[in-house]
Amino acid sequence: MSMTKKVLFLSFLFFVATGVFAMPSMFNKNGVLHFDYKAEDLAPAEKAARAQLEKDLADLIAIPADRRTFENTILGYEKAFDKYGEALGMSGFLAYVSTDKKFRDTMTDLQMQMSQYMVDVATRRDVYKAIREYTDTKPQLGPVEAKLVKEMLIGFRHSGMDLNDEDLEKFKALNKEKAQYVINFDKNIQEYKDPLTVTREQLEGLGEDYIGKLEKTADGKYLITLDYPDVIPFMQNAENEEARKALEYKYNRRGGEQNVELLEKTVTLRRQIAHLLGYKTHADLKLEDRMAKNPKNVMTFLKDLQKKLKPMGKSEDKFMVAYKNEKSGQKSRTVYPWESAYWSNKYRKENLQLDNEKIKEYFPSQVVIDGMLDLFGGVFGITFEPVNVPVWHPDVKAFLIKDKQTAAPVAYFYMDLYPREGKYKHAACFDLVAGKEKEDGSYQKPFVAIVANMNKPSKDTPSLLKHSEVETLFHEFGHVLHNALTKSKYEAFSGTSVSWDFVEAPSQMLERWAWNPTVLKKISKHYKTGQPLPDELIARMLAAKNFGNGGMYLRQNFFAQYDMTLHTADKTPDTTKLYFDLNKKIRGGSLTKNTIPQASFGHIMGGYDAGYYGYLWSEVIAEDFFSEFEKHGIFNPEIGLKFRREILEKGGSEDEQKLVENFLGRPVNNEPFLRAIGLEDK
C-alpha cells in the first residue's frame, strides 16, 4: 500500500490526515527531517496555520481577473495549502509510528478537526471563482500544466462547485446522508456478534495453540468468533463438516440485513449525486480521472479475463471434486462453500508439503534487505548508503539513495520494520516529503519510509521472514522507488501520485523478483547453516504459488463486476439476487441459501466503489512490465533504466496509458498475466 497524495481538491483531506507536506520547516539545519514534535504544540501550530491559510486565500481571491497567471493562481492555491501543512511537519506521520500515546491521541483528534475544515475550504465558491477566472481564459499551457489544471477542475466539479446554490445544498445533504450510511455499514460489521458454539469434539483437526486461545462458555463449550484469526483456521482444518457449514453461514451474514439496506440506499444516493453533477452513472464519475476512463473499458477488460480464466477455474473445480470424493468416499458433484477451504488446505498439506516456519529460517531479514537493495540497486542504477540522521525510533534505519553513475544524492529512505505498541499495524510506504521543483530551480529530494510489522530478533534467532513477508517487502519497496526516483516538476504528480488503477502496478511488478529462483538464492541464507534455499524447496514453492489461481482470480473478477454492475445500473437492483446470479455466471457453483455476503463487502462502501477492478487492472499491467524484463534479462540495467525513466521518474506527469505504452512500445495485453498465474493463453 502507498500512503500517497493526490492532486484533486478533496484529496486535501488526506494531505491533512497524514501530515505529509514538503516544507522547509520540516528540516533541521543539516537539511534532513527532524521528528522532535510535542503534543502541546500541535493545536497552537494548526490555529496559526489556519489563519495564514485564510490570509493566503484572501490574497488569491483579490488578484484582479486580468492579472491572473498559472503561477499566481493555480500554483498560488497549492502553495497556500503547502504552508498550512508546514506548521505540523511530520506530526501527521508520527500519529502512525510514535511511541507517545498522548501525541498519537492528540494528533488523531486534531486530524478530525482539520478534515472537517478542509471540507469547508474545498467548497468555497469565492476560491473556485478565482480559479475559473484564470482557466476560463483558456490559457496556452504545457502538457503537464494542462493536466494539472484539468484534474484540479475535475476535483472542483466532483465537489459540486459547478452547481447552482439550490443544487449545491442538495449535493451537500446527499453526501452527508451517504457518509452516515458508510459509517454505519462499517460499524455494523465491526460490532456484529454471532459466534458459533462448538464442543471439544467438534474442534478435531485444530491445534492446541488455536483451541487454547478460544473463549469458553459456562458449560465448557468453545466460542468461534467471526474474526479472521478464528474463521480461517477453522474452515481450513476442522474435521466436523456440520460445524464448518454452520460457521460459513454465520460468516456470510455478517453485517446483517441492515447492511443490505444501507448498501442499497448508498448505491441509490451515489447515482443521485452523479446525476446531479451531470454524470450518467456513479462509475462514470469515479472513472473520469482514472486510467480505465469509463465503465465500458472496465467491463470489456473484466469479461475478456473472465472468458480466459473460466476453463482454468472449471478444471480446478473438477479436480477438487475428484480429490474430495477420493478422500471421503462420496460421489459428490460439487465442493460446497463450507468445504472449499478444507479440501484445498488438505491437498496442499498432502501434496505440496510447504512448512512456512521452516522456509522462514532461510530468510533472515537483514539478508533479505541486503539482497534486495543490491538487486534493485543494480537493476535501476542506484546505491543505498546507510546514514546517521534523526529518526523517530531506535529500530529505524536510514539510507541515502544515490545515482550510481553520477553519485548524486537522489532521496532519503527509512525502514521501520518491527512491531511496537501503538504503531501502524500493517505494511505501507509513506511518502514523507515529495519530490518537486523548488522556487529557486533546485529539486527537493524525496524522503520515503517503509513501515511494517515483521518479527523482531530474539536472543537466539535473528528476525526471520515468511516468504509472504519477503513478497510484501518487495512490494512496498516498489512504492519506495516510485516515490524516491521521481523527477516530477510538481508535487501533485510526484512519485505515486498517479491514477488509482495504476498506482500498484510498479510495486506489483517488483513482487515478481521474489519468485525468481536465482533471486531466491541471492536473498536467502539459513540462519544456522548459511545455506541458500535448496532447489527442491524452491520448486515446491513455485508449484504451490499457482495452485487454485483460476478460482481465486475468478473470485476477484466477480467482485469487480459486481461492484461495476451496481454502480452503472439505471436503478438500484436487489443486491442479494445480483450477487447470487453473477456469482453463478462468473465463478460457477452455488452460494449458501439465505446468506448475504454483500453485507460485509467493506471495499464497496469504503473507497473502492466503482474501483475494485483496479486490483486486477494494475496486476495485468505489472505482469506485462515484468515480461519486458524477462525478455531482456531480469537483471538488465538497460531495461531497468528505461523503466526508471519512463515510469518511475515521471510519476503522474503524463497520462498513464501513454507512460505504459512508452515503456512497452505497445498497448498492454494480458498474456503475460495469464502465463504468470499458470494459464498459457489459449
Cell 451515489 belongs to which residue?
A: 270
pLDDT of amino acid 607: 82
pLDDT of amino acid 2: 64
pLDDT of amino acid 371: 97
Using left for φ > 0, alpha for ψ between -120 and 50, and beta otherwise, residue 607 falls in left
pLDDT at residue 10 above 80? Answer: no
Q: Specify the 3-state DSSP secondary structure of 338.
A: coil
pLDDT confidence tier of residue 365, bands split at 50, 70 and 90: very high
pLDDT of amino acid 21: 34
What percentage of the chain exceeds 90 in pLDDT? 82
- For residue 545, count CB atoms less than 10 angstroms from its CB and return exposed for 0-12, middle for 13-18, buried for 19 or more: middle
Residue 174 grid cell: 446527499
pLDDT of amino acid 426: 84
> Who contacts 119 (Cβ-Cβ below 8 Å, separation ≥6)?
13
Question: Mean pLDDT over all residues of the chain?
Answer: 92
pLDDT of amino acid 3: 58
For 334-345, the pLDDT digits (tens) are 999 999 999 999
In the chain, domain spans: 2-162, 197-247, 363-494
Q: What amino acid is encoded at 522 in this protein? A: K
Name the phi and psi angles at 366, rounded to 5: -65, -35
As a CATH number, domain 2-162 is 1.20.1050.40
pLDDT at residue 22 above 50? Answer: no
End-to-end Cα distance, the chain: 33
pLDDT of amino acid 229: 83
For 212-254, the pLDDT digits (tens) are 989 999 999 999 999 988 999 999 999 999 999 999 999 999 9
Find the mean pLDDT for residues 309-323: 96
Using left for φ > 0, alpha for ψ between -120 and 50, and beta otherwise, residue 564 falls in alpha
pLDDT at residue 121 above 90? Answer: no
> Who contacts 485 (Cβ-Cβ below 8 Å, separation ≥6)?
380, 382, 401, 410, 411, 644, 648, 649
Compute the C-alpha angle 166/171/176, nearest 5°: 130
Q: What is 363-494's CATH superfamily?
A: Collagenase (Catalytic Domain) (3.40.390.10)
Beta carbons of 482 and 494 less than 8 angstroms apart: no
- CA dihedral for 657, 663, 664, 665, sign (positive or negative): positive
Find the mean pLDDT for residues 510-537: 97
Name the phi and psi angles at 54, rounded to 5: -60, -40
DSSP-derived pairing of the beta strands 428-433 and 2-3: parallel
Beta carbons of 400 and 423 less than 8 angstroms apart: no
d(CA 605, CA 385): 43
> Who contacts 668 (Cβ-Cβ below 8 Å, separation ≥6)?
620, 621, 624, 660, 661
Find the mean pLDDT for residues 83-98: 88
Q: Specify the 3-state DSSP secondary structure of 467.
A: helix
For 369-383, the pLDDT digits (tens) are 999 999 999 999 999
Least confident of 89-93, 145-149, 245-249, 354-358: 354-358
For 150-159, the pLDDT digits (tens) are 999 999 999 9
> Who contacts 455 (Cβ-Cβ below 8 Å, separation ≥6)?
418, 419, 463, 464, 465
Beta carbons of 255 and 185 less than 8 angstroms apart: yes
d(CA 217, CA 224): 11
DSSP 635-664: T-HHHHHHHIIIIITTTTSS-HHHHHHHHH
Q: What amino acid is encoded at 399 in this protein? A: F
For 393-431, the pLDDT digits (tens) are 999 999 999 999 999 999 999 999 998 888 888 889 999
pLDDT at residue 354 above 60? Answer: yes
SS (H, E, C) 403-459: ECCCCCEEEEEEEECCCCCCCCCCCEEEEEECCEECCCCCEECCEEEEECCCCCCCC
Catalytic residues: 476
For 612-623, the pLDDT digits (tens) are 999 999 999 999
d(CA 452, CA 206): 29
For 262-315, the pLDDT digits (tens) are 999 999 999 999 999 999 999 999 999 999 999 999 999 999 999 999 999 999
User: HSE (CB half, 13 Å, CA atoms) of 324?
Assistant: 22
Compute the C-alpha angle 517/521/526, nearest 5°: 135
For residue 360, give the nearest of 425, 426, 428, 455 by alpha carbon: 455
Beta carbons of 587 and 335 less than 8 angstroms apart: no
Cell 532447489 belongs to which residue?
A: 535
For 528-546, the pLDDT digits (tens) are 999 999 999 999 999 899 9
Least confident of 216-230, 495-509, 668-682: 668-682
Beta carbons of 312 and 679 less than 8 angstroms apart: yes
Least confident of 181-185, 199-203, 245-249: 181-185
For residue 129, give the nearest of 60, 188, 186 by alpha carbon: 60
pLDDT at residue 9 above 80? Answer: no
Beta carbons of 30 and 444 less than 8 angstroms apart: no
pTM: 0.90
Compute the C-alpha angle 494/50/68, nearest 5°: 60
For residue 263, give the nearest of 181, 330, 336 by alpha carbon: 181
The CA-atom distances, in angstroms, between 32 and each of 92, 184, 392, 430 are 17, 43, 13, 16
> Who contacts 520 (Cβ-Cβ below 8 Å, separation ≥6)?
514, 532, 533, 538, 541
pLDDT at residue 493 above 70? Answer: yes
Q: Determine which helix (DSSP H) or strand (DSSP E) holds 400, and give its type and residue range.
A: strand 397-403
